[in-house]
Chains A and B, each alone.
Chain A
Amino acid sequence: MARLANLPISDDMALKLQKDLDATVGLVDELTKLDLKDVVPTSQVTDITNVMRKDEIDKDRILNIGGYFKVKAIFDEVS
């Protein structure tokens, strides 16, 4: 679990955290016993969906090299 969570934990800490995890799972386990078949899960409480902005270009943010963007070359010039 520590590797999955990318947390560097010493062996002593791992033992203590394991106990804590067990206790917590014990606490939340009562939820697993509830019959919630067919209940739609809620992932967010706003009624908002698909918030988009207009597809408009802000010309001030483009480099003015003929309307192009300048980036580093990937290939060397062929001589």
Chain B
Amino acid sequence: MKFLDLSIAELASKYRSGEASPIDVVKECLENIDKNSDLNIFITLRDKEELLKEAENIKFKTLLSGIPYVLKDAYVTRGLRTTAASKVLENYIPDYDATVVKKLKEAGAILIGKTNMDAWGHGASSENTDFGPVKNPWDNTRVAGGSSGGATAAVAARMAMFAIGEDTGGSIRNPAGWCGISGLKVTYGRVSRYGAIAYASSLDTVGPMAKSAQDLAIILEQIAGIDKYDATSSPNIVPNYSNNLDVDIKKIKIGIPFELNLQINEAATQLKDLGAEIIDISLPMLKYAVSIYYLLAPSETSSNLGRYDGIRYGNGRENFTQESMRRILIGTFALSSGYYDAYYKKAQQARTKIIEDYQRAFEKCDVIIMPISPDIAPKFGELINDPIKNMLADMYAVTANISGIPSLALPCGFENGMPVGFQIQGPMFSEELLLGIGHQYQKSTT
């Protein structure tokens, strides 16, 4: 019995009926981890004996009790090394837990380990890491995507039931698409960022990754909600996502931005077959999205990474990778006096226009669908050695972060043997709708 192929609800049910035990499941995780140790998925694995002891003592309080998961190594975990995949924090042991970690601990989920990523979130391929590039479980000559590459690959390779990734410019959706799993970029403020090592504070989001929209709903219920330690966390109530997945697709209007000049693809056709109406909408600012993102994000990261001075904790700044230095420099430049108005302020104004674009579009449709990436997962070196290509890989992803809206990434097929994904985007706090549509879509296409 391959427990890790089950859904969270199915496994939770087998726990309660006695057909499965957390110890068996954790052992299965560890076996798969051993089998795939060359994929560079983990930076820090928890101690085996500790894991088995924890699994033995699980009380089934919530659906997540006894369910094994991994954390992108951007979340601080008390007593467990946290590196953000950078030599700067190679030996950093935090003395507190991120809020998302605390919540999952309380829910009874079992943390298997901290996964590899693009350092500080800087990348779309998980090659920008000091711990070896993450290999795609579907083809180990190709990247897993990024920056939550290790977390994604862990779920795809059945090393855990779910992962917590982080999405600032597509970092959950991009690898989800390239590794064939589901991932959710939440509305900005839906999940507390306390304890998440900051990349760009006005764009960062904390989000779940798993095998299905239904799984994501179960996880989101546990981790969403206001947090007094994160002043940007939303006071909006957290809906019962997992019980509200029965959306009537026949009532849904789906918009496709005509600027993308796309043929209607498989996913759109399937949704149409389920009864949704597909219409053209316009997002005129789409072509400026990459420019806006690559001014805002590097600026904010140059400020956030200023704290790593190698004096109070961590190693010195000469340990930043070239890609990270590149981003810090661009940010420093865009914020410097004389250039601030032309670059950073301009980007903030353009940001307002993108928000308005989406508001106008959502008056005509309920959700918008788009590709996640321009192509399938590239081979190693293609992105990391070409800074411009690296940036353009994010072109469809960044508008959701710029505007703050949620976006659900789902697998929709294969191309040349590699997974392809698409995203469903909705207005702020529309996760319920997105997960419902996603669930109906996955029910009909499995």
Binding site for A on B (CB under 8 A): 188-189, 202, 228, 231-232, 234-235, 288, 290-292, 294-295, 302, 306, 309, 316-318, 320, 322, 325-326, 328-333, 336, 342-343, 345-353, 355, 387-388, 391, 403-404, 428
Q: Count how many chain A residues have C-beta atoms less than 8 Å from C-beta atoms of the other chain.
A: 35
Binding site for B on A (CB under 8 A): 1-2, 4-9, 13, 16-17, 20-21, 23-25, 27-32, 34, 36, 39-46, 48, 51, 53
**Given known contacts A43-B348, A44-B202, is B291 in contact with A31 (CB within 8 Å)?**
yes
Chain B contact residues: helix, strand, loop or mixed: helix
Most buried by B among A6, A30, A42: A42
Contacts of B234 in A (CB 8 A): 46, 48
Q: In chain B, what residue has the closest Cβ to A41?
A: B348
Is A27's CB under 8 angstroms from B348's CB? no
Contacts of A6 in B (CB 8 A): 306, 309, 317
A2 to B326 CA separation, bound complex (whole angstroms) = 10
Is B228's CB under 8 angstroms from A53's CB? yes
Known interface pairs A34-B288, A42-B349; 4 further A-B residue pairs with C-beta atoms within 8 A, sorted by A's residue number = A2-B329, A7-B329, A13-B322, A42-B352
Is B349's CB under 8 angstroms from A27's CB? no
**Given known contacts A9-B325, A24-B387, A36-B349, is B202 in contact with A43 (CB within 8 Å)?**
yes
Contacts of B387 in A (CB 8 A): 20, 23-24
**Given known contacts A2-B329, A7-B317, A46-B188, is B343 in contact with A36 (CB within 8 Å)?**
no
How many Å from the CB of A50 to the closest CB on chain B? 9
Q: Which of A5, A31, A45 contacts B350 (CB 8 A)?
A: A31
A23 to B391 CA separation, bound complex (whole angstroms) = 11
Interchain Cβ contacts within 8 Å, total number: 119
A39 to B331 CA separation, bound complex (whole angstroms) = 22
Is B291's CB under 8 angstroms from A45's CB? no
Q: In chain A, what residue has the closest Cβ to B232?
A: A46
Q: Which of A8, A27, A45, A48 contacts B388 (CB 8 A)?
A: A27
A9 to B349 CA separation, bound complex (whole angstroms) = 33
A51 to B403 CA separation, bound complex (whole angstroms) = 21
**Given known contacts A7-B320, A27-B290, A31-B295, is B231 in contact with A21 (CB within 8 Å)?**
no
Contacts of B326 in A (CB 8 A): 17, 20-21, 24
Is B291's CB under 8 angstroms from A5's CB? no
Contacts of A29 in B (CB 8 A): 291
